[in-house]
Amino acid sequence: MEVRHGRELNETRDRLERWRVKQAREAFRTGDQWSELTARLSVKEVSAFLAAECQIPRRDVARFVRLAKVLGADRELYIEKGVAVSVLLDLAGQDEAVRSEALRMIRSGRSLQSKELRALKRDISLERAAAEGALDRTRIRDLRNIAVRKARAGVDAWLASLEKVVNAAHDVSEFDMLKGNTLTMAPKKIDRLAIKAAKLVEELPALVGREFAKAPVPDRPRSGKSPGSWPEVFATLRAMAKRRMFIEHRYERPETTVMDFDPHIVAQLAWAFGYDGCTDGDKARDRMREAGSVPLATQPGPEPTPFDRRNKPTVLEICAGAGGQALGLHAAGFSHAGLVEIDGDAAATLKHNRPSWPVLNADLRGLDLSHLKGVDLLAGGVPCQSFSAAGMRLGANDERDLFPEALRLVRELRPRAVMLENVTGALHVGNAVNRLRILSALASLGYDAEWRVIDGSEFGLPQKRRRSVLVGFQQGIMHRFRWPVAIGTPAPTVGEALFDLMSANGWEHAGEWGERANGLAPTLIGGSQRKKGIDLAQEKSRQAWMKIAVNPNGRALEAPGPGVPADHNPKLTLEMMARIQDFPEWWSFKGSPQQAFRQIANAFPPRMAFAVGASIMRALTGREIDLPAALLKPLAEPEKVPSEFARKFSMEARRQSAQRE
């Protein structure tokens, strides 16, 4: 038995040795690739490429670069010995003396560990300092470490004393409720409490400094949230040291005065230990968010408490179109701080359907939006023709490319998150360099960003609509973001999605058509203002439409009526196109039929925007949602706008009420 186990262990060792050799060789090849790429592209662009599209951690990018440069001369030895990639990357960042000693150790047969490099660096530095007669900096470090430990011990002792004061104050408060007037019935307890509080106040400056210990108490109203702060804790202790711990109550019958112990004292002191006076989970999470912390839920919980209107994360949407993306982001919990759209008809569509939204009909180029600095999310479907096949994939060379304007707004407004949607052509090989420049620009602005393709059919859309989406966050947020995954249930076919509309005029063969239309629609293509006429497809996708029994050449004014043959392939009405694009039934489009078609077909469907928006919302707030369950519900309802009569009536009622007062 032992012999058999020994053979298994030997086989495992040999297999892992071969794997380590292979990994070491590939690590050096990655470094070589860097050198080749930087001969043609900038360092920032290649760094963005390795981090965003090759999934190499950002901290490792520079280390791979050094790997090829500083260890290249001895690469065959490192490969032969199968040195772990983590050790190679750490070694590449060391100075020449450490690298030389490590190389000798590896050549001797040592299996070097990364933690040994740090100790090696320390000891070699000591030898160098001794040889040069330099000062021993470790003595300063040792003193600092001792000072930190002593300070921590002092704070821990002070907090332990504070905890005793909190418990004593709680006992006095309980005594007050049971026995009545605390000031006259428990004077010794009050004296001891004041002495302990005075001692804590006296010890404070040595621990935190006089400025922090005497910081002014923030002027915040008392509420159910039980606000607190360290200055408030310190102020409470100072008041207790002066025996200001009571609230005077006067009663007329019988005429008497009672001094009650201040019930706020315990809550104000207990705040220091994390107690906020409320165990409600949603309120506790809100308090953490207000303080700048984000509790991250990993499983969907009960229906979350809706955001207060004032606390809703805000979004500035550029190139807003007819509102498909806006509907999805609004359903995900964002409040629109602004929607910018250059097309007058699309802007009119937004204003008509959502009068409360701040819509700006303007050209984005050079537009001053500085009043929106600090918005939570910058989102938009920047013009896609410059990245599409129909647009010749001109990318940055296309006058319609508005990515530079989007980056300008990121630089000026500093949003916490960015979401830019485009056609999948943005990820085409011909647009790789321009894509990397965008990632590089975001990285230089301090944003972590990724580019992925999502498919609308994976989220219940009856259409094979694949879009590329760029999502970025200020540093420190990306770790909470994950891309939405398919909900796991099949999307409805075109026949299932449109049957009621196709049979609305009494076509007796609508059911048979529905069986023939048993697939997903190809991507609706709206095109730019240069496109004339209405057709659903380019040449490549025309046959795909015919396979699901739909004529893509133009549009129908209405659904087929009685007497239309069973083998008829109908055209789609604008209403049918809007449903395929997931617009709600009540959403109406302004402008000519040509303009309405363009607004519908160019939209980012609401449920796709909702899926990505919900993932961004989770990263910003930590709130998890059940995406499949959420997509079963209507994402939007018509906005209830009072009639002109109702508005006038309300104004007159307020005027009369003011007169009476």
List active site positions: 384
CB 369 within 8 A of CB 412: yes
Written as six digits, the tokens of 476 are 């420190």
Please give, one letter per residue, the 3-state secondary structure of 519-580. Answer: CCECCCCCCCCCCCCCCCCCHHHHHHHHHCCCCCCCCCCCCCCCCCCCCCCCCCCHHHHHHH
Angle at 608 between CA 604 and CA 610, to 5 degrees: 110
* Residue 568 burial (CB count, 10 A): 14
Q: CA–CA separation, 314 vs 335, rounded Å?
A: 5
Q: CA–CA separation, 106 vs 101, rounded Å?
A: 9
Q: CA–CA separation, 309 vs 49, rounded Å?
A: 39
CA distances from 530 to 263, 433, 535 (A): 72, 27, 14
Sign of the alpha-carbon dihedral angle for 644, 645, 649, 655:
positive
- Residue 642 one-letter amino acid: P
316: Cβ contacts below 8 Å, ≥ 6 apart: 336, 337, 338, 339, 340, 369, 372, 375, 377, 378, 379, 409, 413, 415
* Residue that is written with structure tokens 């160019």 in the block: 602
β-pair type (314-318, 335-341): parallel
CA atoms within 13 A on the CB side of 275: 13
Q: What's the distance, Cα to Cα, between the start and end of the chain in Å?
A: 98
- Residue 351 one-letter amino acid: K
Of 209, 246, 247, nearest to 231 (Cα)?
A: 209
CA atoms within 13 A on the CB side of 305: 10
Written as six digits, the tokens of 54 are 């090759």
Torsion of CA 579, 583, 588, 592, to 10 degrees: -70
CB 63 within 8 A of CB 93: yes
Q: CA–CA separation, 213 vs 205, rounded Å?
A: 6
202: Cβ contacts below 8 Å, ≥ 6 apart: none
Angle at 600 between CA 596 and CA 602, to 5 degrees: 115
* Residue that is written with structure tokens 């963005």 in the block: 48
CA atoms within 13 A on the CB side of 575: 12
